[in-house]
Amino acid sequence: MINIGIVGYGNLGKGVECAIRQNPDTCLFGIFTRRDPASITPLTEGAKVYKLDDILSFRDEIDVLILCGGSATDLPKQTPELAKHFNVIDSFDTHARIPEHFEAVDASACESGKVAIISVGWDPGLFSLNRAYCEAVLPAGTNYTFWGKGVSQGHSDAIRRIEGVVDARQYTIPVEEAVARVQSGENPSLTTRDKHVRECFVVAAEGADKERIEREIVTMPNYFADYNTIVHFISKEELVRDHSGLPHGGFSIRCGTTGFNNEYNNVIQYSLKLDSNPAFTSSVLVAYARAAVKMNKEGIKGCKTVLDVAPSYISSASAEDLRKRLV
Amino acid sequence: MINIGIVGYGNLGKGVECAIRQNPDTCLFGIFTRRDPASITPLTEGAKVYKLDDILSFRDEIDVLILCGGSATDLPKQTPELAKHFNVIDSFDTHARIPEHFEAVDASACESGKVAIISVGWDPGLFSLNRAYCEAVLPAGTNYTFWGKGVSQGHSDAIRRIEGVVDARQYTIPVEEAVARVQSGENPSLTTRDKHVRECFVVAAEGADKERIEREIVTMPNYFADYNTIVHFISKEELVRDHSGLPHGGFSIRCGTTGFNNEYNNVIQYSLKLDSNPAFTSSVLVAYARAAVKMNKEGIKGCKTVLDVAPSYISSASAEDLRKRLV
């Protein structure tokens, strides 16, 4: 049995708790939180909740920690810190800062002799895998990534910070025409605006200036200014009724050529359709938690990404069984 | 530079020759054949052609051999034999016999200290990877594989063996309705007949009994009896004009649930659309040839499948570069 500790009990932590139930070779050792443990009621009856400050006293009982904090402030501190004592998995998803996060975590994990696998999930994660496999098997080609249709929590948060906004939900939507052009093998050049539309459902405070709010959204740099953005004002009730889920998904596509004179076109497409983004990300985290434990038992140490992990490590099946059933 | 030897110069061997041109860190050492070397004209000007019998004298100059023979009789003999002296890659694709092929090759490669990667291509190969990744990240679910639309060389050959048939081409076609049901997340039970249609283009000898030929095709056990099969009789000229290509592709899909009570549906879909099946398979072979060489340099030995190979090994990029660009 693989004893898993969950660090942080938000959507992702709850997702890990659920995913452990689906993997009979794993079990939930406990949940670690910065909050008062008594304030937390786990979904699983009898599950233990501990103070994060006490985690080192469980060093010998836990096989791997899954860190469920955010990439902005939690993980850059927690992952290097906890990799000094535990095998760890995180879903660090600030793409531009992955190299520096890797270096910090690698230093800790090499010193402790543990395995840390960072940036696990679907993007970064399964989409990273597809981009890497595709580039290697079709070197003459182009990768395209489309996200959605799905809720972007970062963009929803950005809208909520605008004065006069009570709540908001933002959907990232791939432009169908752009996806179709890529799928056809045309190898098009696409701008940011060509690829995605952003649709926002906003609850405004009573008496708030909706024109100003809409203007502030659509002109917001980085988040919305480079996109075609649609804003709908709705009631609090409508938001709760129609937009409570966290669905997501997307497409990672490569178009590339083969043949002596690049005469053959090829399209590789990997796509996801997820009812719940955090539940699926958590399920990927648990599979890689298994890999970290298996790799560490073989004497492997240091920081890894999904690209460094052979697929057989994430499976609970034996190598013989995998060869027989899945190769 | 990775020096690659090609063993066998049919469609696959030619494809490997083309793929080497697209990978600047690889070069063609030479082509090895059982035929008279003088009878072969490589696509690449100046490429060397040698007798297969002489291959051992080049043991120190070749980093890896790509074996391009057939799975029925060539590879079961050649792969274990050549793994005694070289790192080797093959595309052994008789799924049911992969375990025994693995054992034979593993014995040779463990003894020689070389790396052999077997069953490389797209199915087995990239589809095997997808099946394994999907099963691990969505343990509560079902895998579905659809092939086509594409030419099945095995089925085309089976038709050609019927008396009165001059030539034939068989297309495997996934049933659109079945694919759509799987894509919707419905998790349907599908029979062999539900999933694929077989469409055959047949050139009959003059005066041959077409009714008998059609009956022999549609009732042929294993190949056609379990499918809805469509037979068209066409002229030799039409076959050459309209059916000379070897396109293929398919879908590897998993539907699975997440959540505390399996309340969320998820669909992962991996699909390929290939203008030339052998050219693409060859391109995958070259990427795994790189992996075999890199792994062997690290002291790894024995037989592997794609499930045992971390994705970073198949890439020509450095780990740092991959983390920066693709994770």
Give B310-321 pLDDT, tens digit per residue. Answer: 999 999 999 999
Distances (CA, A) of A100 to A96, A104, A105, B186: 9, 6, 9, 42
Q: Does B319 touch chain A (CB under 8 A)?
A: yes
Q: How far from B272 is each of A178, A255, B150, B185, CA to CA, in Å?
A: 19, 10, 11, 20
Q: Chain A within 8 Å of B3 (Cβ-Cβ)?
A: no
| DSSP state at residue A254 | E
pTM score > 0.90 for this model?
yes
SS in 3 state form for chain B? CEEEEEECCCHHHHHHHHHHHCCCCEEEEEEEECCCHHHCCCCCCCCCEEEHHHHHHHCCCCCEEEECCCCCCHHHHHHHHHCCCCCEEECCCCHHHHHHHHHHHHHHHHHHCCEEECCCCECCEHHHHHHHHHHHHCCCEEEEEEECCEECHHHHHHHHCCCCEEEEEEEEEECHHHHHHHHCCCCCCCCHHHHEEEEEEEEECCCCCHHHHHHHHHCCCCCCCCCEEEEEECCHHHHHHHCCCCCEEEEEEEEEEECCCCCEEEEEEEEEEECCHHHHHHHHHHHHHHHHHHHHHCCCCEEECHHHCCHHHHCCCCHHHHHHHCC
Measured between CA atoms, how close is B215 to chain A, in angstroms?
34
Measured between CA atoms, the residue of chain A closest to residue B184 is A273
Sign of CA pseudo-dihedral A258, A259, A260, A263 = negative
Q: Is residue B137 within 8 Å of residue B206, measured between CB atoms?
A: no
Q: How far apart are CA A59 and CA B186, in angstroms?
A: 43
What's A272's DSSP letter? Answer: E
Residues from chain A that touch B284, judged by Cβ atoms under 8 A, are 137
User: Are A133 and B126 an interchain contact pair (Cβ–Cβ within 8 Å)?
Assistant: yes
Residues of B in contact with A269 (CB under 8 A): 269-273
Dist CA A11 CA A1 (whole Å): 25
CA distance between the termini of chain A: 26
Six-digit token string for A220: 């917001």
Q: How do the pLDDT tens digits run along chain B, 327 residues long?
A: 999 999 999 999 999 999 999 999 999 999 999 999 999 999 999 999 999 999 999 999 999 999 999 999 999 999 999 999 999 999 999 999 999 999 999 999 999 999 999 999 999 999 999 999 999 999 999 999 999 999 999 999 999 999 999 999 999 999 999 999 999 988 999 999 999 999 999 999 999 999 999 999 999 998 999 999 999 999 999 999 999 999 999 999 999 999 999 999 999 999 999 999 999 999 999 999 999 999 999 999 999 999 999 999 999 999 999 999 999
CB contact at 8 A, A92 and A75: yes
Q: Which two tokens stand for residue A83?
A: 């990799």
pLDDT-derived band at A269, boundaries 50, 70, 90? very high
Task: List all residues of chain B from 201 to 240 with a beta carbon under 8 Å from chain A.
Answer: none
Distance CA A247, CA A274 (A): 6
B137 and A327 within 8 Å at the Cβ level: the answer is no
Contact A119 B327 (CB under 8 A): yes
| Rounded Cα gap, residues A296 and A43, in angstroms | 30
Give the type of residue at A119.
S
CB contact under 8 A, A95 and B327: yes
pLDDT tens sequence across A282-327: 999 999 999 999 999 999 999 999 999 999 999 999 999 999 999 9
Helix H or strand E encompassing A65:
strand A64-67
Residues of chain B with C-beta less than 8 angstroms from the C-beta of A324: 98-99
d(CA A278, CA B159): 51
Report which residue type is found at A274: L
The predicted pLDDT at position B276 comes to: 97
Chain B contact set for A131 (CB, 8 A):
326
Helix (H) or strand (E) holding A288: helix A277-297
Is A132 close to B22, i.e. CB distance below 8 A? no
CA distance A218 to A226: 9
Query: How far apart, in whole angstroms, are the C-alpha atoms of residue A35 and residue A44?
Result: 18
Instruction: Evaluate whether B100 touches B73 at the Cβ level (below 8 Å).
Output: no
Tell which residue, B166, B161, B151, has the closest CA to residue B205: B166
Amino acid at B171: Y
R_g of chain B, CA atoms, integer Å: 22
- Bridge partners (DSSP) of residue B7 are B32, B67
Between CA B103 and CA B111 the distance in angstroms is 12
User: 3-state secondary structure string, B259-277?
Assistant: CCCCCEEEEEEEEEEECCH
- Chain A partners within 8 Å of B130 (Cβ): 270
Q: Which chain A residues touch B129 with a CB distance below 8 Å?
A: 133, 311
